[in-house]
Amino acid sequence: MKVLAKYGFKFLRETKTSNKNKSPENLRKAFEELGPTFIKIGQILSSRPDILPSSYIKELSKLQDDVLPEKYEDIDIVFFNEFNKNINECFLYFERNPIASGSIAQVHNATLKNGKKVIVKVQRPDIKQKMETDISILYKIMKLTKNKFKDALIDPEEALKELLSSTRKELDFNLEVDNMIRFKELNKNVKFCYVPYIIKDLCGSKVLTMEKIYGFKINNIERLKKEEYSLQDLGKKLALCFFKQVFTDGFFHADPHPGNLLIQDNKICFIDFGIMGSISPRLKLLLNDAIMSIAYKDTDKLVSVIMSIGIKKELTDRNKLYEDVELFLSNYLFTSLKNIKISVLITEIFKCAKNNNITLPRDLILLVKSLIIVEGLVAEIAPDIEILDIAIPFVKNNNEFYFLKNFDLENILIDSGNFTKNFFKLPMKTVELIDSILNGRAKIQLKFNKIDDSLNQLNKMVNRLSISLILCSMIISSSLILNSNTGPKIHAVPLLHVINFLFFIVIGITLIISIIKSGKL
């Protein structure tokens, strides 16, 4: 709490203009000061453009795992708890000093007893309990400051749920092993793609042992040129590899930054499979439709796809959503594909969805984040390549005989049976409906959009009319008082009418004040 207070807690909601630019930086600095757990939290949040604005995403992406390593003895205990063996019993050689030390795990060079060089990733002791404790503290802070989030830039509850889910997945190395095996199998026929093999006997929930890769980062342009790689060819292969993962396999690497894409022996080597994305057949079909809509500049189709993909949290005004989407898409779809940047287009889609109470599925969010990274890498390696120029032909080719490839006779028979059964029920249902109407048993439910706005307008009209009548009565009373000569007088004005006049003034002022306070004047 002290650290959050130190940085003003301003990053949680919109502040004055002078503070807006500093808020993302404050959030990053606070996470850095709070330590490894919060650094990982920041990194997870940086992958959620639907939760945080782009300025925060950019700032949190700067968070780096620069954490002091655990003692060798503590790592040995983790290893023993996993396999009931010490490190020296499993390896011919194990480098005590890690080559990398992150917030969740650290990585060591090692040599198997058969002489093969491997990399061993070992989880920090008790890191799961520490991270879950920190997240539970954040939950408590959120409850204590619930009222502060009414106009928040982020949905804190949604953010914390995502943190808890992502953290638990990243802390189970068995999931990463399964991801590697599946990814390797799906891409075994892609000649320019490579996935390191794993040592299953030395893999567990907290330890992962895999082949050592000697490559260099994919964006090391100087090294690529030195070793005479074709940058155009490499950029194209990277894009094709990614589109194959998404549009063909439906299973993609969701953290394709340069540190996880290495070049070795003319191949793109993928490492770190802690974060993966899956695309359902339905979502894959919708994404194919979206790309084809862009290719043919079909605005109506693209709008329909976006609305089909989105998850509506509240009542959505379809007409407003359509107008909003059509407005920003028209700026992109009626120009050359070379002028369209996917990252900018997708950012606009997120804004539009959020403004219309629509949430995009988590796997689509991971896809968006990965696509933005890949687009940036392709632009860095080969600036002349336009990623849409690769995506569109790939999807067009992939769509040929799409329905024949996905032809499922069993599902078609089931759907046909259901349709036939419902079709024969139609006459009976129609008769029942007519009988209900004739007998007065039919009920019609009407929903009015923005009914509150209409009622507020009516209230304002009535209140203004009331004020007008009060003012008129006060003017008439004043006239009568001045022309009356009955009863006791004060300065030649009848006392009774003075009291009457004052009474109307008090009532009038009270009514006006109450109307102004209600905000419905």
Residue ranges covered by each domain of the chain: 2-65+143-170, 71-124+172-212, 217-407, 451-518
- What is the percentage of the chain residues whose pLDDT exceeds 90? 28
Which helix (DSSP H) or strand (DSSP E) does residue 108 occupy? strand 105-112
Q: What is the rounded average pLDDT of the residues 279-283? A: 86
User: Which of the pair, 126 or 234, is modelled with greater confidence?
Assistant: 234
Q: Which residues lie across from 270 on neighbouring strands? A: 261
- The whole-angstrom separation of Cα 89 and Cα 203 is 15
- The whole-angstrom separation of Cα 481 and Cα 494 is 7
Cα–Cα nearest to 185, from 392, 193, 451, 410 = 193
Q: Which residues lie across from 277 on neighbouring strands? A: 252
Of the pLDDT bands very low, low, confident and very high (cuts 50, 70, 90), residue 442 is: low
Q: Evaluate if residue 146 carries a pLDDT over 80.
A: no
Q: Which residues lie across from 359 on neighbouring strands? A: 311
Asked if residues 303 and 325 have their Cβ atoms less than 8 Å apart, the reply is yes
Asked if residues 480 and 501 have their Cβ atoms less than 8 Å apart, the reply is no
CATH number attached to the domain at 71-124+172-212: 3.30.200
Please give the pLDDT value at position 312: 65
Which helix (DSSP H) or strand (DSSP E) does residue 207 occupy? strand 207-211
Please give the mean pLDDT across all residues of the chain. 78
Q: Evaluate if residue 249 carries a pLDDT over 80.
A: yes
- What is the percentage of the chain residues whose pLDDT exceeds 70? 70
Please give the pLDDT value at position 303: 74
Contacts of 479 (CB under 8 A, 6+ apart): none
**Which of 1-10, 176-185, 385-394, 483-492: highest mean pLDDT?**
176-185
Q: Evaluate if residue 15 carries a pLDDT over 50.
A: no
Q: What letter does residue 111 receive in the DSSP assignment?
A: E
- The whole-angstrom separation of Cα 449 and Cα 335 is 36
- pLDDT tens per residue, range 41-89: 777 677 666 566 777 777 877 776 667 889 999 999 999 999 999 999 9
Asked if residues 205 and 178 have their Cβ atoms less than 8 Å apart, the reply is no
Please give the pLDDT value at position 401: 46
Cα–Cα nearest to 242, from 287, 209, 304 = 287
User: Which of the pair, 234 or 492, is modelled with greater confidence?
Assistant: 234
Please give the pLDDT value at position 403: 45
Mean pLDDT lowest among 173-177, 411-415, 423-427, 430-434: 411-415
Please give the pLDDT value at position 49: 63
Of the pLDDT bands very low, low, confident and very high (cuts 50, 70, 90), residue 219 is: very high
